[in-house]
Amino acid sequence: MEYTTVKKEGSDAFVEKKSRFIGSCCPVKTEEEALAFIAGVKAKYWDASHNVYAYILRNQGTQRFSDDGEPQGTAGIPVLETLKKSGIVDAVVVATRYFGGILLGGGGLIRAYSHTASLAVSAAQKIVMRECLLMSLTCDYTLYGKVAAAVPACGAVVDETEFLEKVTISFHLAPEQEGALTKQLADATNGKAAAKVEGRKFFEFL
């Protein structure tokens, strides 16, 4: 199970016929986070002619947009469509416009707002998130070397290693690799060390 989103907050800008467009994008998980980001951008660019926005959330497939005073269908929908064409969810884009005195027309506005959204998404860096198993393994110090080699050999990523009376390794890996990991650990430790699943979480897929 995986989805596409953006890695971080990012922004970029360009000028079209003296109108300055600024695209701002941010990863969000909830509608409250999206609205808070929109409010922050509006406060930053309080003197702008328009602060158009759109966001898509994975939760219940929520999609919202606003033209913020631009002609209907020329601003919010192009921004939303840019997100949808990119396959991006859990993200919000605000497209800010400082009007330069020259009308762009319906087609010109659609192209300008689509481009603004594309710039914002690029600045925020598109990433794929994949659901992984959260796993842990506790072993004696005598087995640590073999275990430490076996875990990453199966594509697992170590998140934390705790050295107490015994060594506990916490890591995550793709669900389809669980079988290979079980076999690798059994072979490396003669069945003396086995990992257990603690839960599931989404991680950036590299």
Which domain CATH number covers 159? 3.30.70.240
| Statement: the pTM of the whole predicted model exceeds 0.85 | no
Determine the structural domain holding residue 109 and report its residue range.
2-124
Can you give the pLDDT at residue 106? 85
CA dist 35 and 140 (Å) reads: 50
Residue 43: CATH number of its domain: 3.30.230.30
Whether residues 30 and 118 share a domain: the answer is yes
**Residue whose pair of structure tokens reads 């919202």 in the numeric block:** 64
Among residues 103, 124, 145, which one ends one of the domains? Answer: 124
Task: Summarize pLDDT for 16-41 with one digit per residue, the tens.
Answer: 899 899 999 999 999 999 999 999 99
Q: Classify strands 126-139 and 167-173 as parallel, antiparallel or unpaired.
A: antiparallel
Query: Given the DSSP bridges, would you call strands 19-27 and 91-98 parallel, antiparallel or unpaired?
Result: antiparallel
On whether both 103 and 161 belong to a single domain, the answer is no
- Domain finish residue from 97, 124, 151: 124
Span 114-123, pLDDT tens digits = 999 999 999 9
How far apart CA 94 and CA 65 sit, in angstroms, is 10
pLDDT of residue 206: 62
